[in-house]
Amino acid sequence: MIIHKEGKGTLGLVFIVLFAVNALIQWAVENQVIEVLTLAISVILYVIVLQFFRNPKRVVQVNPNGIICPADGKVVTIEEVYEDEVLQTKCIQMSIFMSPFNVHVNRFPLGGKVKTAIHHKGKFLVAWHPKSSSLNERTTVAVENKIWGTVVFRQIAGAVARRIVMYAKPGDMAAQGSEFGFIKFGSRVDIFLPLDCKILVKEGEVVKGAKTVLAARA
């Protein structure tokens, strides 16, 4: 299993805490059953945290006419909205919810030049809250592409995910399927697409980052 670089600090801290707890139990409690039970629970907890930061290799099939999925998860919203931060026009918003058990790597859904990359501080409402897109900690990234024009996508923190990492910077040349960020312990990614594109997925569908094609040019 490949572990993402964003997990190394967290995994190290969790290991130290669990090691200290087990050492304390062995010193303070003279009961082998409790010691073994504590060790077993610690191993299970560490494995759970470990899988949060897995980073499986993905072979990206570059698709200039398609928008590929930026994250693993489930499509929870497909609706027409007005995007007022960058595009300032009506578009199709697609939201992908990442549970704590999904891979948390976020990938560029298309290639092109990064025009906008902003990190907004905010609250930590649950990811499905209607105001989470505008009130929660979030990032906004806009990529300009000859075929698609400008496409905006956002990382949105939730009640559990309280650490967003964004690698994208204005002026960067984005490669479709390459990493642009990471959200620790899941949450949501929104993507804003032109009204005239052809949507290839439906609400409730399980999708994979860098694999599932979300939309194509009509």
> 95, 132, 133, 187: which is the annotated catalytic residue?
187
HEC-encoded secondary structure of 83-112: ECCCCCEEEEEEEEEECCCCCCEEECCCCE
- Measured distance CA(65)–CA(197) in Å, rounded: 10
Structure tokens at 106: 């976020």
- Asked if 100 and 160 touch (Cβ cutoff 8 Å), the reply is yes
Nearest to 132 by CA among 156, 162, 153: 156
Torsion of CA 154, 130, 98, 189, to 10 degrees: -10
- Residues ≥6 apart with Cβ < 8 Å to 72: 98, 102, 103, 104, 105, 207, 208, 209
Residue 99: active-site member: no
| Residue showing tokens 């906008």 | 116
Torsion of CA 193, 99, 46, 165, to 10 degrees: 30
H-state helical runs in the chain: 8-28, 32-52, 132-135
- Residues with catalytic function: 187
